[in-house]
């Protein structure tokens, strides 16, 4: 029976979406697949990403997932359309930088912090073209190897890199966390840009998952807490750290 919510990311970043899911859908069962061996996705080509993500989708489907959450902006902007075409009967929910939220709130000077792949993607230009009302400035900045450092848990290197990347943007009124990994280091980002509002699309993704489950009559009717399984193809340590992050 297809009973779980399948989630994947190139590493720990997807935890930021899993956290939001648990707060609104606590009774569901989850299988979160962390593809740390292939981190960083942000430096890969479309073909590589499509092959990697197809393999993960097959794995999640084999493990009875009823919906698949692409908890990664890079994989979504690169592969979501093609995955939907390839797996026609599967429900996918993806993650894209929260550009709409910036426009809806009328921010005037928005920085999008995302992976190299995402900031150069066609999908992000489409989002900007769709929502830009020309009175808002939007700047794209690459987080370079931040996602990698976050998986490694190297706080000194994370803080040094944040200073290097973000210091020139003290006047930004808003910053879009355009990579799910970055939502895990909101406090560190806020320290470098204390006057900037951080915009996070993870809550919206979780709400969309709930809508899809409701609309397709797939909600788990159980009244007890669901089971959470986290797998990581690189190390057991990363699994332990993931449960720690989830529980704190
Ligand atoms: N967490 C991913 C995202 O949201 C990507 C990190 C990576 O480059 O692997 O874009």
Domain extents in the chain: 4-95+202-247, 99-199
10 pLDDT more than 90: yes
Residue 8 Cβ inside 6 Å of ligand 1? The answer reads no
Is residue 202 flagged as an active site residue? Answer: no
Residue 67's pLDDT band (boundaries 50, 70, 90)?
very high
pLDDT at residue 107, rounded to an integer: 95
Residue 79, classed as helix, strand or coil, is helix
Q: Give me the residues paired with residue 110 across strands.
A: 138, 174
Residue 135's pLDDT band (boundaries 50, 70, 90)?
confident
Residue partners of 186: CB distance under 8 A and separation at least 6: 177, 198, 200
- The CATH number corresponding to 99-199 among 3.40.50.1860, 3.40.50.740, 3.40.50.720, 3.30.1180.10 equals 3.40.50.1860
133 pLDDT more than 80: no
pLDDT over 90 percentage in the chain: 95
The Cα 55–Cα 37 span in angstroms is 13
Q: Taking a C-beta distance cutoff of 8 angstroms, is the pair 46, 21 a contact?
A: no
The Cα 57–Cα 61 span in angstroms is 6
46 pLDDT more than 80: yes
The atom of ligand 1 lying closest to the CA of 180 is: 4
Residue 66's pLDDT band (boundaries 50, 70, 90)?
very high
Return the CATH number of the domain spanning residue range 4-95+202-247: 3.40.50.1860
The atom of ligand 1 lying closest to the CA of 179 is: 4
3 pLDDT more than 90: yes
- Dihedrals φ, ψ of 177, to 5°? -80, 90
Averaged pLDDT of the chain: 96
Is residue 65 flagged as an active site residue? Answer: no
Catalytic residue among 65, 79, 179, 202: 179
Residue 115 Cβ inside 6 Å of ligand 1? The answer reads yes
The Cα 111–Cα 21 span in angstroms is 26
Residue 118 Cβ inside 6 Å of ligand 1? The answer reads yes
How many residues are given for the chain? Answer: 248
Token output for 52? 């990697």
Q: What average pLDDT does range 131-138 have in this prediction? A: 82
Residue 114's pLDDT band (boundaries 50, 70, 90)?
very high
Q: Do 4-95+202-247 and 99-199 have matching folds?
A: yes
The atom of ligand 1 lying closest to the CA of 41 is: 9
Catalytic residue among 65, 72, 79, 202: 72
Taking the centre of ligand 1 as the mean of its atom positions, its distance from the CA of residue 1, in whole angstroms, is: 31
pLDDT at residue 132, rounded to an integer: 75
Residue 148 Cβ inside 6 Å of ligand 1? The answer reads no
pLDDT over 70 percentage in the chain: 100
């Amino acid at each position: 029976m297809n009973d779980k919510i399948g989630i994947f990311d190139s590493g720990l970043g997807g935890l930021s979406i899993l956290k939001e899911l648990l707060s609104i859908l606590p009774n569901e069962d989850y299988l979160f697949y962390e593809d740390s061996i292939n981190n960083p996705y942000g430096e890969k080509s479309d073909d590589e990403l499509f092959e990697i993500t197809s393999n993960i989708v097959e794995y999640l489907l084999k493990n009875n997932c009823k919906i698949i959450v692409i908890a990664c902006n890079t994989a979504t902007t690169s592969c979501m359309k093609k995955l939907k075409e390839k797996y026609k009967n599967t429900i996918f929910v993806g993650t894209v930088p929260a550009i709409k939220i910036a426009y809806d709130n009328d921010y005037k000077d928005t920085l999008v912090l995302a992976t190299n792949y995402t900031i150069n993607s066609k999908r992000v230009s489409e989002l900007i073209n769709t929502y830009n009302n020309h009175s808002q400035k939007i700047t794209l900045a690459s987080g370079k190897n931040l996602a990698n450092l976050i998986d490694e848990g190297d706080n000194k290197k994370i803080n040094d890199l944040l200073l290097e990347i973000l210091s020139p943007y003290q006047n930004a009124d808003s910053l879009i966390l355009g990579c799910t990994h970055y939502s895990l280091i909101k406090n560190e980002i806020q320290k470098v840009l204390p006057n900037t509002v951080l915009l996070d699309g993870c809550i919206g993704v979780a709400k969309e998952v709930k809508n899809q489950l409701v609309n397709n009559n797939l909600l788990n009717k159980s009244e007890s807490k669901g089971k959470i399984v986290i797998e990581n193809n690189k190390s057991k340590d990363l699994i332990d750290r993931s449960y720690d992050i989830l529980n704190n």
